[in-house]
Structure 1
Amino acid sequence: MVRSTIEGMPIAPEDVEAPAADTVLFRSSPARTFVTVFAVLMLAYLVVSPVVGRIARDTGDPWWVTAVQAVIVGATVAAFYSLSARAALTTWVRVSAGGLELAAQGSDPVLLAWADVAAVTVRRSGLRTVLEVTPVDLDTVHPVQDSGVGGPPLTETSRGPAFVADLTQIWPSPRALRRELVRRLHPYPKPILVRPPQPW
């Protein structure tokens, strides 16, 4: 069941009734991405600046000038990265006993029951982390709601068409999503082969 949404606007996970109670939500967060990128750039700038200053003959600027420069550079680059066209589009993945729900880059969400999932891959593609969900058959995919945007983008894989989503800004993290997917797709521990003692 989906609550009413504004026509053409991305559907948030809060607007979609979960298919099961044990849901785990992963969603893009430009704000968290900004903070992370900003912190990394600040640290890198503050570490590299003294080295560059020594090589290029230090100008004698006080330490706070370097700190201000680090803040300006870090904030500018982090803001550009977090608010770029691709990054600003909403992506969310919700995992539960009811299946896998996916909305990628502002698309309408779709639901796949676990029995209808042929393969799930979380992989690196350059600087991005990408999720590929291959359904057994596209006819088994359940659109949650049609707001006119359309479902997640498709890509061709060796197993057939697959939904693809950019996980670069997903939180908690793509690694946590991978662990959750493995847990859902392989719910039982692998049996240990016990060899009975031989009489000889």
Structure 2
Amino acid sequence: MFGTLLWIFASVWILLQVALMVLRVAVSGRAPIMFDVVSAAVGVVVFPTVVASVVMLSWRRRPAWVRVSAAGVELAATRRQPVLLPWSAVRAVRLRYRGPFTELLVTPSGLDADAVAPIWAWAPRLHRRSGAPAFVVDVGMLTPGPSVLLAELDRRLAARA
């Protein structure tokens, strides 16, 4: 997650610096000097690192997680309430997207079947497509990996059927 945020913030920083340099040239008519280029290069290293670190520190208390057990699947998106779904309440599981942006979608048989833990946090993330709600968790950066997690969930669902 830190690496992903680092690349995103670095890209934003580079775009802002290029836009500011073009604006300065258009307004003042002078070309960028070496100081402008060096300060932009230093900013590419410092700005994304500081901002990504602050974001990660603010999220560290409630990171995303998934637990698979004989009782069911327990999951929580970043800074969201955890949800425990017994295997009898899980209708389908699937992955969406690739790489660090991979999301796990767990479709329950009904929203009344889930058990939300009574702690203070934002409500669980729901994705609604064609009328069927699904709980969403970012699993792209979790270990052992999204494909291993999906294989385990599929194995548990196949054993239940």
What TM-score bracket applies, with the shorter chain setting the length?
A: 0.5 to 0.7
Between Structure 1 and Structure 2, whose CA radius of gyration is higher?
1
Task: Report the counterpart of residue 100 of structure 1 in structure 2.
Answer: 73
Task: Report the counterpart of residue 174 of structure 1 in structure 2.
Answer: 146
* 1:133 lines up with 2:117 in the alignment: no
Normalising by structure 2, we get a TM-score of 0.60
Letter in 2 for 1:175: S
- In the TM superposition, what are the counterparts of 1:46-61 in structure 2 within 5 Å? none
- In the TM superposition, what are the counterparts of 1:59-70 in structure 2 within 5 Å? none
- In the TM superposition, what are the counterparts of 1:39-50 in structure 2 within 5 Å? none
Structure 1: runs of 5+ lacking an equivalent: 1-29, 38-68, 189-200
Instruction: Give the RMSD, CA atoms, in angstroms.
Output: 3.2
Structure 2: runs of 5+ lacking an equivalent: 7-40
- CA shift, 1:125, in A, is 6.0
Letter in 1 for 2:97: R
For residues 46-69 of structure 1, give each alpha carbon's deviation from its aligned partner in whole angstroms, at most 9, with x where no partner exists. Answer: xxxxxxxxxxxxxxxxxxxxxxx9
Q: Does structure 1 conserve the Cα–Cα contact (< 8 Å) formed by 2:98 and 2:140?
A: no
After the TM superposition, list the runs of 4 or more consecutive aligned residues in structure 1 that deviate by more than 4 angstroms. 75-83
Task: Report the counterpart of residue 22 of structure 2 in structure 1.
Answer: none
Q: Does structure 2 conserve the Cα–Cα contact (< 8 Å) formed by 1:105 and 1:152?
A: no
Task: Report the counterpart of residue 162 of structure 1 in structure 2.
Answer: 134
The 3-state SS of whatever aligns with 2:102 is strand
Greater relative contact order, per chain length (Cα 8 Å cut-off, separation 6+): 1
Q: Does structure 1 conserve the Cα–Cα contact (< 8 Å) formed by 2:93 and 2:107?
A: yes
The 3-state SS of whatever aligns with 2:152 is helix
Closer/same/farther in 2, CA of residues 127 and 150 from structure 1, 3 Å limit: closer
Task: Report the counterpart of residue 7 of structure 1 in structure 2.
Answer: none
Normalising by structure 1, we get a TM-score of 0.50
Closer/same/farther in 2, CA of residues 107 and 116 from structure 1, 3 Å limit: same
Of the candidates 152, 157, 169, which is equivalent to residue 124 of structure 2?
A: 152
> Which structure has the highest helix share of the two?
2
- CA shift, 1:169, in A, is 1.9
Matched-pair identity in %: 39
Closer/same/farther in 2, CA of residues 179 and 91 from structure 1, 3 Å limit: same
Task: Give the number of equivalent residue pairs.
Answer: 120
